[in-house]
Amino acid sequence: MLVIESWPDPAVALAPRVRAASDPTILLDLTMTAIDVVVWGRNVPPAWQEELSVNTAPYERFTLEGTLDQITAALRDAKRRRQFPVFLMDDVEHTVALAAALAFSNRLVVSLEPLAPPGAPVLRNTAALEVYCCYGGTVSWDSGLPKDAESTTTSVCALVFIPSFSEAEATLRFAPAVENAFGLTILAYRDIQAAAELPRIFSKTSLSGKIFGEEAMMPLTPVRSGYRT
C-alpha cells in the first residue's frame, strides 16, 4: 500500500500530522495517536461527478441526530431520498455506518449541506471521531504560518477522519469543484452502550473481513509508536 505522509516542520508545527492512501486499510492508522488526520482517498465512480455537474435541483441542508438505526431510517425516508441523487444518499448511509463502527459509537450527528463556490469552512466539534467528505469537490486545510501558509487538498470525494486524540487545530474547508457539491459532516460520540451494539453495527458496514480480514472485527486500541509500510 502506497502511503503519503504530511508532517509539520517542528519549528512551525502549525499543521496536522496526516497519513493518506487510496487503500481502505489506511483506516487502521486511526489507532495511532501520533497522527492527527487519516485520509482515505478512495476511488469513486466518474458518474458521481458527472451527475453532480448536470443536476441543478434546489437542495436544503439537513442535520440528523440519534442512534445508527434512527439515522439510517431517516436517510432511507422516501421523501428525503427523492430530494438528492441516489448515489449520494447511499454513500452517506454507508459512511455513517463506517464511522459508527470505527468509533464504537451509537450516538451520531450527521449534516449534509449544499455548497456553492468558493466553498465553506468545516464546522468542527469534539467527538470520538469526526468524518468529512466533499461530494463534487475536496477537503482542504492550510499548513504553516498565516502569512505564507500552503493549502493541502484531498482527492475528490476523499473521506477525512479526525480521531478524538488529534492535537492539531486544523481549519478545514469544503472546496467544491462543480456547481452542485455537498459537504458531509459526521460526528460519532462514544457512549457506554456502544460496546453492546458493536456486532450489529459491524454487520451494517463494509468494515468486515471482505476488506480488512478478520482482524478488523477486533477493537482498535490506540498505540503510540510504530508505523506500517
In sequence order, the 6+-apart residues with CB closer than 8 A to the CB of 112 are 61, 62, 84, 88, 92, 182, 183, 184, 185
Distances (CA, A) of 60 to 80, 114, 115, 219: 10, 7, 10, 37
- Mean pLDDT over 68-97 rounds to 96
58/207: higher pLDDT: 58
Residue 93: φ, ψ to 5°: -60, -45
Assigned C-alpha cell, 69: 438505526
In this model, does residue 211 exceed pLDDT 70? no
CATH architecture, domain defined by 4-210: Sandwich (2.60)
Residue 193's pLDDT band, with cuts at 50, 70 and 90, is: low
Where are the domains positioned within the chain? 4-210
Tens-place pLDDT, residues 61-81: 999 999 999 999 999 999 999
- Mean pLDDT over 89-108 rounds to 96
In sequence order, the 6+-apart residues with CB closer than 8 A to the CB of 145 are 12, 14
Under 8 Å between Cβ of 16 and 168: yes
Q: From CA 34, how far away is CA 143, in angstroms rounded?
A: 17
Kindly tell me the sign of the dihedral angle through the C-alpha atoms of 23, 129, 195, 96. Answer: negative
Q: At what angle do helices 86-103 and 46-54 cross, to 10 degrees?
A: 130
177/195: higher pLDDT: 177
Residue 227's pLDDT band, with cuts at 50, 70 and 90, is: very low
The distance in angstroms from the start CA to the end CA of the chain is 7
Residue 105's DSSP bridge partners are 190
Distances (CA, A) of 113 to 59, 103, 201: 8, 23, 25
Under 8 Å between Cβ of 34 and 224: yes
Q: What is the DSSP letter of 223?
A: B
Assigned C-alpha cell, 37: 488526520
Q: What is the DSSP letter of 138?
A: E
Residue 203's pLDDT band, with cuts at 50, 70 and 90, is: very low
Computed over every residue of the chain, the mean pLDDT equals: 81
